[in-house]
Amino acid sequence: MHYWSSILGILRKVVGADVIVTAVPGQSRTGSIASRASELNRFLERKANGRGINLMAHSMGGLDCRHLITHLKPTEYTPLSLTTIATPHRGSPFMDWCTEYLGLGRQRSDTERAAAAEIIASASASAARTSTAHTSSPKSSSPLSLSLSALPSSFTTLLLSMFDSPAYANLTTSYLNTVFNPHTPDDPRVRYFSVAGRVARAASTSGTR
Ligand SMILES: *[C@@H]1O[C@H](CO)[C@@H](O)[C@H](O)[C@H]1NC(C)=O
């Protein structure tokens, strides 16, 4: 994201802070909050050993950090603060929609998974056709493929790549509100900040707030 480079520049040049940057490694990207947090913890034990650190996290990374602070209780370094940017602390209604209609994140049977994968694949194909043919409304009897074909095909491809991943299961509103939040209280020694963006209602497609 472009704003990271300016944030980094300000922190390094203006504040004079020592900044350590990391991203979730490839295979772990769609992992559960717990596995992503362990990975981050191992990284920080190496890179920030013996130091106090201010964590800044984007999106799901904010949940990883909350889990790390409260449950992994790091001893090799000391978290002083956590600033989350656009983190879905209360879950993403969009993920709920995926769970409801596509069974994503529900660890379904192979047959159901294959069927859902086919629906997504054909929906992205029809979306591609629709955009080249200038057809205003795709003709389909199924409300599911109708709404799916309204999504850009790159987006449905992204959905497929995250198919049934633990990351999905960890981002629904019900999981966050009934399991994660009650079991992950803030650590009183850490200062928490949250930065969120708002999108005009009509323009909003993703549920992340
Ligand atoms: C995330 O989801 C997985 C299942 O996919 C679950 O095992 C795990 O407990 C959840 N929570 C966290 C904090 O990772």
pLDDT block averages, 10 residues each, the chain of length 209? 73 82 75 92 94 92 96 97 92 76 60 60 56 45 51 61 70 91 97 81 47
pLDDT of residue 73: 97
**Nearest-angstrom CA–CA distance, 190 and 187:** 6
3-state secondary structure of 63: helix
Q: How many residues are listed for the chain in this entry?
A: 209
Q: Tell me the residue range of the domain where 153 lies.
A: 109-163
Sheet hosting strand 191-195, strand order edge to edge: 52-58, 78-85, 191-195
Query: Tokens in use for 98?
Result: 């995926």
Total domain count, the chain: 2
The predicted model scores a pTM of: 0.68
Check residue 36 and give its pLDDT: 92
Give me the pLDDT at residue 24, please. Answer: 77
**What pLDDT, on a 0 to 100 scale, did the predictor assign at position 89?**
93
Any domain includes 99: no
Q: What integer pLDDT is reported at residue 81 of this predicted model? A: 96
Cα(1) to centroid of ligand 1, in Å?
27
Contact of 108 with 100, CB cutoff 8 Å: no
Residues 135 and 117 in one domain: yes
Atom of ligand 1 nearest to the CA of 35: 14
